[in-house]
C-alpha cells in the first residue's frame, strides 16, 4: 500500500518550458488536491478534484492546469513555466470529510 | 474568504518543557481545525484535529483547545522530545478539505 505517490521528486525547468507532475493514490479516495508550499506562506491550494472527470480551482490556480481522467491519478500541468512557480508541490487525497493524505512532494525550480 | 494567522513563526523549547502554538481565524462559520506536522524534507501529516462542537481534545502529549467566541485555537505539546522538532501548520475550514486555509507554519526546535 503505497498511499500517495508523486513523480518526479525534483525538476529544473527553464522559463517557458512545460511539464506535468503526476500524482497517484491507491486508497480509492474520491478527492484529490494539488498544493504549493512556499517559505513563510504555508500550503496553498492550486486545484482539486472531487471525483473522476471533475476538477475545480483552488486559491492560486493561475498558470496551472489539471486533469483527472482516472480516479487514482491527478495530473498537474505547467504550460509555460515562470520563476514565480518555483516551489515545492504536494499532492494529497482524501475521502469526503476525512483528513488529507499527502505525497512526498516535488521540488520544482524554474530558472 | 478565511484568513488564518499563526504565531509564533519560530519557537525553541528545552526538552521536557511544554510548547504552545496559537492560531486565529476570521470566519465564524469555520468548524474544522486540523494540525499538521511536517518534519524536515517530509510530507505534512495530521497529528490532531478538532471540530467546533468540542472545546478541547487530547491525544497523549498533544492537545488542542478551541475558543469559538474569540476565534482562536491552540496546539499544546507537553514533555517535549527531540522528535517533536518540526514545522507545525494549523488550518481552518467551514466545510470540506477543499475549503481548508492553512496558517503560515511554526518551526519548533527542541533543545536537548
Contact A88, A105 (CB under 8 A): yes
**What tens-digit pLDDT sequence spans chain B (112 residues)?**
889 999 999 999 999 999 999 999 999 999 999 999 999 999 999 999 999 888 999 999 999 999 999 999 999 999 999 999 999 999 999 888 888 999 999 999 999 9
State how far the Cα of A87 lies from the Cα of A8, in Å rounded to an integer: 14
pLDDT at site B54: 82
In this predicted model, what pLDDT tens digit does every residue of A20-76 receive, in sequence order? 999 999 999 999 999 999 988 889 999 999 999 999 999 999 999 999 999 999 999
- Kindly tell me if the per-residue pLDDT of A1 is higher than 80: no
Q: What is the pLDDT of residue B23?
A: 98
Query: Residue A108: is its pLDDT beyond 90?
Result: yes
Contact list in B for residue A97 (CB cut-off 8 A) is 96
Average pLDDT, chain B: 95
Q: Which DSSP string do the residues of A6-50 spell out, in sequence order?
A: EE-SEEEE-TT--EEEEEEE-S--SEEEEEEE-TTS-EEEEEEES
Res A47: pLDDT: 97
Check A31 against B102: CB less than 8 A apart.
no
Give dist(CA A111, CA B21) in Å, integer. 36
Residue of B nearest to A6 (CA): B43
* Separation in Å, CA of B83 to nearest CA in chain A: 19
- Cβ–Cβ of A103/B43 closer than 8 Å? yes
CB interface of B with A, residues 10-49, below 8 Å? 34, 36, 42-46, 49
Q: What is the predicted pLDDT for the residue at B4?
A: 96
Amino acid at each position: 500500500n503505497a498511499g500517495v505517490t508523486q513523480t518526479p521528486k525534483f525538476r529544473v525547468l527553464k522559463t517557458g518550458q512545460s511539464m506535468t507532475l503526476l500524482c497517484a493514490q491507491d486508497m480509492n479516495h474520491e478527492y484529490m488536491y494539488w498544493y504549493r508550499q512556499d517559505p513563510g506562506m504555508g500550503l496553498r491550494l492550486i486545484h482539486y478534484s472531487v471525483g473522476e472527470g471533475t476538477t475545480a480551482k483552488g486559491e492560486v490556480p493561475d498558470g496551472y492546469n489539471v486533469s483527472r481522467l482516472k480516479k487514482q491519478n491527478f495530473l498537474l500541468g505547467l504550460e509555460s513555466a515562470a520563476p514565480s512557480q518555483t516551489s515545492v508541490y504536494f499532492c494529497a487525497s482524501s475521502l469526503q470529510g476525512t483528513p488529507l493524505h499527502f505525497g512526498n512532494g516535488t521540488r520544482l525550480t524554474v530558472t | 474568504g478565511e484568513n488564518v494567522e499563526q504565531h509564533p513563526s519560530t519557537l525553541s523549547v528545552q526538552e521536557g518543557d511544554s510548547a504552545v502554538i496559537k492560531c486565529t481565524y476570521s470566519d465564524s462559520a469555520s468548524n474544522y481545525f486540523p494540525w499538521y506536522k511536517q518534519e524536515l524534507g517530509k510530507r505534512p501529516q495530521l497529528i490532531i484535529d478538532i471540530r467546533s462542537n468540542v472545546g478541547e481534545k487530547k491525544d497523549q502529549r498533544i492537545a488542542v483547545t478551541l475558543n469559538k467566541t474569540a476565534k482562536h485555537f491552540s496546539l499544546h505539546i507537553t514533555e517535549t522530545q527531540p522528535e517533536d522538532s518540526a514545522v507545525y501548520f494549523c488550518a481552518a475550514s467551514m466545510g470540506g478539505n477543499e475549503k481548508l486555509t492553512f496558517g503560515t507554519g511554526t518551526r519548533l526546535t527542541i533543545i536537548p
